[in-house]
Structure formats: C-alpha cells, structure tokens
Amino acid sequence: MASYRGHLMFSSVLGSAYGATGSWFLNLDWGPAMLGAGVATLGGLLPDLDSDSGVPVRELFGLAATIIPLLLLHRLRLLGFSVEQTIVLVALIYLFIRYGVANVFKRYTVHRGMFHSIPGMLIAGLGVYLVYNTSDEVVRWFVAGGVMLGFLSHLVLDELCSVDFMGAKIRLNKFAGSALKFWSPSAVATFFAYLLLFGLGAALWLHYAPPDDPFGPIFVRKLR
C-alpha cells in the first residue's frame, strides 16, 4: 500500500487539476473550485481512516470533525437555528465525530476492509452530497464528485503498487487486488456497507422526488 505521504501527494495534484477543471469548464468561482480541490485531496486520505494507529489518522479525524460541521453550516442556518444555537450544534457535531465516530471506527473497522471499496467510495460521495446543502446543484455534485475522485485515487494507488515517491521506487504490492473491491470476506461488514449505501441512495431519491409524492407515481397510485 502506498504511504500516507504518497496518497497526500497524489491526491493533492489530482485535487488541483480537479479544481482547475471546475473553474475552466464549469465556470466555477474560486470558492467552489478550491473547495472541490480541497475535498478531493482529503478524499485521497479518507479510506485510511480505518487504520487503527498513527498520528495521521488522528489528525484526519480532527480534520473531518472540523470540515463536516462547516459543510453543514448552511443547512443548520436554513433550519432556522440562531447563531448561538448553530455554534453549540457545530461544537457538538465536532465532538461526536472526533471522539464518537473515531472510537467506533477504531473498534469495528478492519484496515483495508469494507472502507477500502467501491461502495465505500459511493458512501463518501453520497454522504458529502447530502450533508453539503447548497442551492447550486452543479457545485453540490462538484464537491461530492471531488471526494469520490480522491477516494478512487486512493483505492487505485493501494491496489496497484507501493509507491515511494521519495525514492521513486514502484513495485507491485503484495496486497494487490484487495482495495478496488465490491465486497469483503466479512459478510457482516459487506452487509452494513450496502445497508448504509442503500439508506443514502433512498435519501437521495427522496431529495429528488416531489415532496408531496415522495415515492413517485408508480407506488403511490397503487396504494390509492
């Protein structure tokens, strides 16, 4: 597997290209373009949240705990919370991710298990799409796409080789063939990953369905 540093270098180059593409082809402002570049860079580190040890992982959880409430800010304001209430909620979400989610990950995930997989990538992308509530759908998908692109770059790097950028040494990894996967040897982990993906997919469906007719014309007409 590639090192933390290797992933960071690769995904930051990829993220910069992604941001530049967004500003050039989608005419995005520097804000959304650089946000996309940043989340793509972070996406490249995200799968290694499942490794139990090391300063980078702790740092990564700190970063995730900071960025997720920031992405949620707009949504919290829309829900009508006051400034003070928003600050309290943001702090609570930070603590929940930094300590709660981090502990769950430490206890229940296996390094290079279901979090290093294609469903894992889709979960990260859909999660960011649903959390990051902006009225501009292009920007919303651009940011969600950035996370998935970074995540995918991580899986590909893990899959293919152990890259040592400092020594420019590339060799085939003994774990090759275990990162770009759709299921893991653990049936329980696979089941929970797909359950989560299904839940996020359903949330996305409801997001696009008309509010008075959430299940679309097919189901509702039958029920009536």
What is the nearest approach in angstroms of Zn ion to the Cβ of residue 49?
9
List the structure tokens of 6: 């290797």
CA distance 192 to 200: 12
What element of type H or E holds 127? helix 118-131
Toward Zn ion, which CB reaches closer, 90 or 121?
Answer: 121
Which of 40, 48, 163, 184 binds Zn ion (CB under 5 A)? It is: 48
Per the DSSP assignment, residues forming a β-bridge with 161 are 172
The CB-nearest residue to Zn ion is 158
CA distance 183 to 171: 25
Piece of 25-33, 65-73, 123-131, 158-166 that binds Zn ion (CB under 5 A): 158-166
Toward Zn ion, which CB reaches closer, 48 or 127?
Answer: 48
Which of 32, 158, 173, 181 binds Zn ion (CB under 5 A)? It is: 158
What element of type H or E holds 163? strand 161-164
CA atoms within 13 A on the CB side of 161: 10
- Provide the 8-state DSSP code for 98: I
What is the nearest approach in angstroms of Zn ion to the Cβ of residue 112?
6
Piece of 28-36, 77-85, 152-160, 169-177 that binds Zn ion (CB under 5 A): 152-160
What is the nearest approach in angstroms of Zn ion to the Cβ of residue 7?
7
Piece of 43-51, 76-84, 131-139, 212-220 that binds Zn ion (CB under 5 A): 43-51
What is the nearest approach in angstroms of Zn ion to the Cβ of residue 67?
20
What is the nearest approach in angstroms of Zn ion to the Cβ of residue 186?
17
Orientation of helix 118-131 relative to helix 55-78, angle to 10°: 40
What is the nearest approach in angstroms of Zn ion to the Cβ of residue 128?
19
Per the DSSP assignment, residues forming a β-bridge with 162 are 171
First-to-last alpha carbon distance for the chain, in angstroms, is: 55
Q: Residues touching Zn ion: how many (CB under 5 A)?
A: 3
CA distance 67 to 70: 5
Q: Is 159 in the site for Zn ion (CB under 5 A)?
A: no
Under the rule (CB under 5 A), what is the footprint of Zn ion? 47-48, 158
